[in-house]
Amino acid sequence: MKPVLVGIALAVALLASIAAAVTIGAADLAVGDVIGAIGAHLGIGTNPLDTLRDGIVWELRLPRVLTAAAVGAGLAISGAVMQAITRNQLADPYLLGLSSGASLGAVSVLLLGVAVLLPVAAFAGALAALAVTLGLAGAIGRITPTRTVLAGVAVSSLAGAITSFVIFWTATGDSYREILSWLLGSLAGARWPAVAIAGIALIVVGIPIVLSGRVLDAFAFGDTTAASLGVPVQGARWILLTGTALLTGAMVSVSGAIGFVGLVLPHAVRLIVGPGHRALLPLSALVGAVFLVWADTLARTVFDPRELPVGIVTALIGAPVFALLLARRRSEA
Amino acid sequence: MLQVQDVTVRAGSATLVDSASFTAESGTLTAILGPNGAGKSTLLRAVAGIERPASGTVSYDDADLLAMPRRGRARLLALVEQESATELPLTVRSVVGLGRTPHESFLGGRDPDADAAIDAALQTAGVAGFADRIVTELSGGERQRVMLARALAQRPRLLVLDEPTNHLDVAAQLDVLDLLVSLAREGTTVLAALHDLTLAAAHADAVVVLSRGRVVASGATAATLTPELVRDVFGVEAQWLDNPLTGRPLLAVRRLSG
Amino acid sequence: MFRRIVVIPATLALLAGCAATPPPADSPTADAVTVQNCGTTVEFATPPQRVITIKSTSTEMLLALGLGDRIVGTAFQDGPVPEEWADAAADLPNISDFMPSEEAVLDLEPDLVYSGWESAFAADAAGTRDELATLGVASYVQPAACRSAQVPGKLDFDEIFHEIDEAATIFGVDGSPLVAEQQAQLDAITPDDRGLTALWYSSGTDTPYVGAGLGAPELTLETAGLTNIAGDIDMTWTSLGWESIVDADPDVIVLIDADWNTAQSKIDLLESNPATARLKAVQNDAYLILPFASSEAGVRTVAAAASLVDQLKVLDLP
């Protein structure tokens, strides 16, 4: 299918999804009122909702939906890039210790009671874990994709162990719930600052990554071929890895480690438009955005008035889809 | 003309290639020969700019290849690796299209010559018939030719190949070598590491013989591959005669007796 | 829809043949006691003399019954005890700020571990009930906190008074004065009659953890004359999305105050969140505060309801 057509369809679907998701929620608000309220904020017409209900739409739902879109896009891009760089179709954005490092930062801050520092701590944790991973991979010799992945596994285990210890040592009954919600991934805390963090990361880091699709294609046959095609292999890998780490770190810092988006969605997109990264990256971003908007809408309404962490929904949907994709590959091989 | 001068490649404390020097004229097929481990691959990778030599120069028509910016070098020189595989279900056409990468600007789309170059490459390499098939479904020989097509799509003046006949059956081997010769006749400088003495002797215009990282001889094929040299380097008996089928020189080999 | 825990009234049950030791001379009732507690049959040949209490509700139950001298150790306490028992509680040894280990518990040679949370009786905490029993240590879970043996019904004061009675029987003391005292306190409460709605906000930032329809929070709120906005959810506590809370716009917010999660931090959060800042309770500072230890079912529940009523009287609501 022509990628451009798919892209346009997805972009339309994304806008429609955002518009629809904002009208859905635990509070029973009329669609027209929601649209009117948003319009009023944008300077069109008067607000039909009272301040409280307007607060629900403009301060709770809209930032949350926008953050879901940004995070979904960012994670999907990161997943696709990781799969290309490590030449491993089972890679996800968290491979290099990123989510474990972020979790350690976040959990520490939650337990110290300074939850307001959470995005900063999570981001710092992600980058620290990446630094340790790359350092470990390089300490043995030349950095290769395999070494990096293995180092990432080691760092993830270590960060995970420390996180578990910290939780065990200091958590009271109440904080277990918060920590679990963060570890599973949740958009419940997404307000306008989260939109800013995720949005800026997506624009400043995500867009350049998406434009480098061609470079990623060159990696298809390995380093030597890529080098012979004029790609600065080491430099490109470092830049892409760092970019992915920044992007993932930013997303994880606002929403915790939401799983399966970065792992499964690039595969689904590949099935439709093929593996060329020029199309794969932007389309994965769009699919990721639409997917997470709906997953989060489900998470906050299916057990209304209670809420699920969105990570549970993405896992419940993502795991069977992933199993299907694996089965397909085995039958093709 | 390709000029390789005193190229030395080290890995740790080991010297893989020691002060190698040779020249390859434009429009010729030069075969790099030598026993396993002699340093053929390493030398080729150094020439292609993939491995950084510890010392020495590589120049093409007086342009320093090693100092050239990567993309510029990739427009001039194309490398076909010994082994390259992918898991991705790419079509043959898109793989060949990768060869245009050095000609594309970073943000821009395909370059204007892309289609022409890709089609020509597909034709020349004989893979135009399955341009829309998925590479992972092809046989080893077909894949090898696709990689060759990719290299041709780069429109290189210097084509470097590392053991291009490795996975091919006899007919395909002859096809590839014929193709390399015709590319050479069109003006490309072709450099190929080959392990099959006879095949190389039958097609190459010149040879560079490596033993334990050193160039022990180089020059026109028949003049360089003397029976004495072959015995010393390869440990086999050799004799030149005429191929009754083609009328061209053939290097026959036999195990050393006694 | 409430169910009672099945308890064999202790005074009717006599253990046959197992009472090896004669009852201590100073215990008022010398009968052995058997209770069905949270799916386990617990037998007390004699009233326990060396008790370890886990969570404040257990400690305070004993203090209220005048049994502070039988406590050999406390663990995982939720806050200071009320003034009236402060002296009695002053010297109680604190084993751990969190769940104690089995070794630490056994080291004090208790004959009973009395816990306000069921989760204390796990291998990685105080020890499983079976294991403690084989070592001669009885275990008792506060019935209102029991989840494993039956689905909790809606908590009422009959249940709480029943628990006081059962505890008194186990310890061989008379619980009726305490029950009478609590009943009198309860009767003296005049619920607020303004028909106000309330949110019981215990913890949580992204997704608040609030009192729901079946447990101590609901009972406390109802007794105080407040309607719980989460009262129709059939759980004791539950996590609730902010959207539902904003939509319900409660008149007052009950904040649970704990060292690890203060009422002030919750106020700060409510005020800094642009959506909740518009809640009328936040705009009017209509906050009622309860210490954590009084927010779980126990001897302080009546006092908690009374406290809410008193705080409501002082609240300036438009």
Inter-chain CB proximity B89 and A274 less than 8 Å: yes
Interval B182-191: pLDDT, tens: 999 999 999 9
pLDDT(A272) > 80: yes
Give CA–CA dist A109/A122, Å, rounded.
9
Residue C104: exposed, middle, or buried by beta-carbon count in 10 A (0-12, 13-18, 19+)? middle
- pLDDT of amino acid A331: 63
- Counting as contact any 3 or more CB pairs under 8 A, the partners of A are B, C
pLDDT at C318: 75
Is the pLDDT confidence value at B248 over 50?
Answer: yes
Task: Tell me which chain A residue has its CA closest to the CA of residue B79.
Answer: A228
Out of A212, A229, A274, the one facing B98 most closely (by C-beta) is A229
Whether A181 sits inside 8 A of C274 (CB atoms) is no
User: What is the arithmetic mean of pLDDT over C307-314?
Assistant: 95
pLDDT surpassing 50 at residue C23 = no
Asked if A218's CB is within 8 angstroms of B81's CB, the reply is no
> What mean pLDDT value characterizes chain A?
88
> Is C246's CB within 8 Å of A27's CB?
yes
Residue of C nearest to A190 (CA): C206
Report the pLDDT averaged over residues C242-267: 93
Q: Over 80: is that where the pLDDT of B167 sits?
A: no
Of C254, C256, C253, C252, the C-alpha closest to C291 is: C256
Which 173-192 residues of chain A touch chain C by CB within 8 A? 173-175, 177-178, 181, 186, 188-189, 191-192
Query: Do the chains contact at B86 and A220, CB–CB below 8 Å?
Result: yes
- A43 contacts chain C (CB < 8 A): no
Statement: residue C196 has pLDDT above 90: yes
Residue C173 has pLDDT above 70, yes or no: yes
Q: What is the structure's pLDDT at B73?
A: 93
Residue C123 has φ and ψ, to the nearest 5°, of -60, -35
Task: Look up residue B158 and give its amino acid.
Answer: L
Whole-model pTM? 0.85
Query: Counting one residue from A and one from B, how many pairs have CB atoms under 8 Å apart?
Result: 75
The reported pLDDT for the residue numbered A1 is 67
- Residues of B with Cβ-Cβ distance to A212 under 8 angstroms: 106
Chains A and B touch (3+ CB pairs under 8 A): yes
**Rounded-to-integer distance, Cα A269 and Cα A237, Å:** 23
Give the chain C residue nearest A299 (alpha carbons). Answer: C241
3-class secondary structure for chain A? CCHHHHHHHHHHHHHHHHHHHHHCCCCCCCHHHHHHHHHHHCCCCCCCCCHHHHHHHHHHHHHHHHHHHHHHHHHHHHHHHHHHHCCCCCCCCCCCCHHHHHHHHHHHHHHCCCHHHHHHHHHHHHHHHHHHHHHHHHHCCCCCHHHHHHHHHHHHHHHHHHHHHHHHHHCCHHHHHHHHHHHHCCCCCCCHHHHHHHHHHHHHHHHHHHHCHHHHHHHHHCHHHHHHCCCCHHHHHHHHHHHHHHHHHHHHHHHCCCCCHHHHHHHHHHHHHCCCHHHHHHHHHHHHHHHHHHHHHHHHHCCCCCCCCHHHHHHHHHHHHHHHHHHHHHHHC
Judged against a pLDDT cut of 80, whether residue C26 lies above it is answered with: no
Q: Are chains A and C touching, using the cut-off of 8 Å on CB pairs and a minimum of 3 such pairs? A: yes
Which chains does B contact via 3+ CB–CB distances below 8 A?
A
Residue range A168-190, pLDDT digits in tens? 777 766 677 778 888 889 999 89
